[in-house]
Amino acid sequence: MVKPGVLMQRCLPDFQALLEPKYRVFPLWEQSDKEAYLAENAESIRGLIASAAMWVDAALIDKLPKLEIVSKTGVGVDRVDLHKCKERGIAVTNTPDVGTDDCADMAIGLLLATMRNICAADRLVRKGLWPKLENYPTFAHKMSGKHLGIVGLGRIGLAVAKRAEAFGCKISYLARAEKSGLPYKFYATVLELAKNSDMLVLTCALTKETTHLVGREVLDALGPEGFLVNVARGAVVDEQELVKALVEERIAGAGLDVFENEPQVPQELWNMENVVLLPHMACHTRNTVKGILELVVSNLDAHFSGKPLLTPYLDD
């Protein structure tokens, strides 16, 4: 029985070991001439592992006439051409839930690290400056009890809310529609949410509607004592406006795990004390990555044995 062919865009050694017993792996990253490789093996490729940050666009899909399933690592599918997949009857799965806790943990971690100057104070100690100062040169901002606005109240947004409640935060949110039965205040626009929040945490998916949702007006509404945390996608924020707002001190600080042009991070931010900059790692813990890879394989297994997909984003 021929093992189904699965194309891998990126090198993930542990993952390959999981796949190889059941699948014929086509390692795209190893090929010097990717176009030719795809052309050569097109007839054999029935599945594709879409890794974080890799594009699965119409151009790629067109080169894979036998493609039946795209299995994405992670929860975001903004780089998969869903329209094209639907057209072709290609199933798309992602890995929701697995990374929810880690992502929510990181959102709180970024809020605290930014508001309490954790990285800045740690830098000061490592430079040997503590003995030279009588007091830490500036006070930080208290997080407990403040007004937290969450943009997007999906699994991750809810998990952030649950944690923030334990800090006595007053929670409000923006979502496509109000959600019933929640003890949080709903705002229909992100501007209203920002006006009524001390901190804004972005946990929404990246769509046409949410692209540059946070721009100059929203940042000004957040204000010079306000903090922004982004664990969603860089493009939810107008990054140029964010940099300007930080340079001009029109917001108090920002904790960012994502950027518009990863891995590029605006250099104006590199020397700021009131920002925390992370390389897109909100759900990259040992536990979670293992869980993600296992779920990807389980979805492939289900598809190729004619069983229902575990976590379909788009069913075939």
Partner 1 sequence: MGPKPGVLMLKMMMPYLRDSLESKFTLYPLWEQSDKEGYLAQNAQSIRGLVTWTGSTVDAELLNKLPKLEIVSAFSVGVDKVDLRKCKERGIAVTNTPDVLTDDCADLAIALLLSSMRQVCAADRYVRKGCWPKLGQYPLTYKMSGKRLGIVGLGRIGMAVAKRAEAFSCKISYFARSEKSGVPYKFYDTVLELANNSDMLVLTCALTKETTHIVGRKVLDALGPEGFLVNIARGPVVDEQELVKALIEGRLGGAGLDVFEKEPQVPQELWNMDNVVLLPHVGSGTWDTRRAMADLAVSNLEAHFAGKPLLTPCN
- Residues identified as active-site: 233, 262, 280
Give the nearest distance from C-beta 279 to partner 1 in angstroms: 4
Count the residues in the chain.
316
294 scored as a contact of partner 1 (CB under 8 A): no
145 scored as a contact of partner 1 (CB under 8 A): yes
Give the nearest distance from C-beta 261 to partner 1 in angstroms: 10
163 scored as a contact of partner 1 (CB under 8 A): yes
With CB under 8 A as the contact rule, the residue among 285, 298, 310, 316 that binds partner 1 is 285
What is the largest distance, in Å, between two alpha-carbon atoms of the chain?
74
With CB under 8 A as the contact rule, the residue among 24, 76, 165, 298 that binds partner 1 is 165
∠ CA 36-38-39, rounded to 5° = 65
Shorter beta-carbon distance to partner 1: residue 240 or 287: 287
Total of chain residues touching partner 1, rule CB under 8 A: 58
166 scored as a contact of partner 1 (CB under 8 A): yes
124 scored as a contact of partner 1 (CB under 8 A): yes
109 scored as a contact of partner 1 (CB under 8 A): yes
Inter-residue contact 257 to 230 (CB < 8 Å): yes
Shorter beta-carbon distance to partner 1: residue 32 or 144: 144
Which one of 68-76, 142-150, 239-247, 304-312 is the stretch in contact with partner 1 (CB under 8 A)? 142-150
Q: Name every residue whose Cβ is closer than 8 Å to that of residue 12 and which is 6 or more positions away in sequence.
A: 51, 293
What count of other Cβ atoms lies within 10 Å of the Cβ of residue 134? 6
126 scored as a contact of partner 1 (CB under 8 A): yes
Measured CA to CA, the distance from residue 227 to residue 114 in angstroms comes to 8
Class of residue 285 by CB neighbours under 10 A (exposed 0-12, middle 13-18, buried 19+): middle
With CB under 8 A as the contact rule, the residue among 143, 231, 296, 309 that binds partner 1 is 143
Which one of 39-47, 82-90, 129-137, 304-312 is the stretch in contact with partner 1 (CB under 8 A)? 129-137
Inter-residue contact 61 to 23 (CB < 8 Å): no
176 scored as a contact of partner 1 (CB under 8 A): no
Measured CA to CA, the distance from residue 221 to residue 227 in angstroms comes to 11
Class of residue 139 by CB neighbours under 10 A (exposed 0-12, middle 13-18, buried 19+): exposed
Measured CA to CA, the distance from residue 304 to residue 295 in angstroms comes to 14
Give the nearest distance from C-beta 269 to partner 1 in angstroms: 9
Shorter beta-carbon distance to partner 1: residue 23 or 184: 184
Backbone angles phi, psi at 58, to 5 degrees: -55, -40
98 scored as a contact of partner 1 (CB under 8 A): no
289 scored as a contact of partner 1 (CB under 8 A): yes
Shorter beta-carbon distance to partner 1: residue 240 or 264: 264
b/e per residue, 194-218, with b = 16+ CB within 10 A? bbebbbbbbbbbbeeebeebbbeeb
Measured CA to CA, the distance from residue 231 to residue 283 in angstroms comes to 10
- What does the binding site for partner 1 look like in residue numbers (CB under 8 A)? 101-102, 104-106, 108-110, 112-113, 116-119, 121-126, 128, 130-131, 133-136, 139-145, 162-163, 165-168, 262-265, 270-271, 276-281, 284-289
